[in-house]
Amino acid sequence: MSHAAPDARGLLGPPPSVAFIVSRLGFEVSQALADGIEPLGIDPQHFGLLRALLVMEGQSQKAVGTSLGIPPNRMVALVDDLESRGAVKRTKHPDDRRAYALSLTPKGRKLFERALEVVISVETRLCGSISKDDRSRLLELLSRLTSFSGAPDGVHPGLTSQP
């Protein structure tokens, strides 16, 4: 009696695991986003900081870093890099002469807009096969799971990690 070896698909079929599927999807989407914005000379951490500065403009570097959960040494490195590219400007903070206020430059706003086009393109491809109602429901369900990372709302945990 011969025993045919089971094929890999039979052994390793799609696991009924939310963690596995979310992890795989997160990896694939992260890679697509990183690959998409790499030609702009930035990475997802730069994008996250540019995005945050749109709404936190004028706040101190320390306040922005604290609200995003970015360690001070990583925050300095990110701001230094974006400043050297002409995307972010540090000015003396009006209320604290020891602090710097952060703002986007016109070049920084343009860089953010170009990166946002990539992000929208990736999301369009990702959600292209589901209806608007399904997308809304998916967002609702995924939002319930976001407490797992411990990152502040609206902040990607990758932004807070060390390089």
CA angle 84, 119, 143 (to 5 degrees): 115
Residue range 32-84, pLDDT digits in tens: 999 999 999 999 889 999 999 999 989 999 999 988 888 899 999 999 999 99
CA distance 30 to 123: 11
* Buried-exposed string 58-89: b where 16+ CB fall within 10 A, e elsewhere: ebbbbbbbeebebeeebbeebbebbbebebbb
Lowest mean pLDDT among 10-19, 66-75, 95-104: 10-19
112: how many CB neighbours lie within 10 A of its CB? Answer: 22
Instruction: Pull the structure tokens for residue 2.
Output: 């011969």
Q: Which domains does the chain have, with CATH numbers?
A: 17-148 (1.10.10.10)
Residue range 124-158, pLDDT digits in tens: 999 999 999 999 999 999 888 876 666 666 665 55
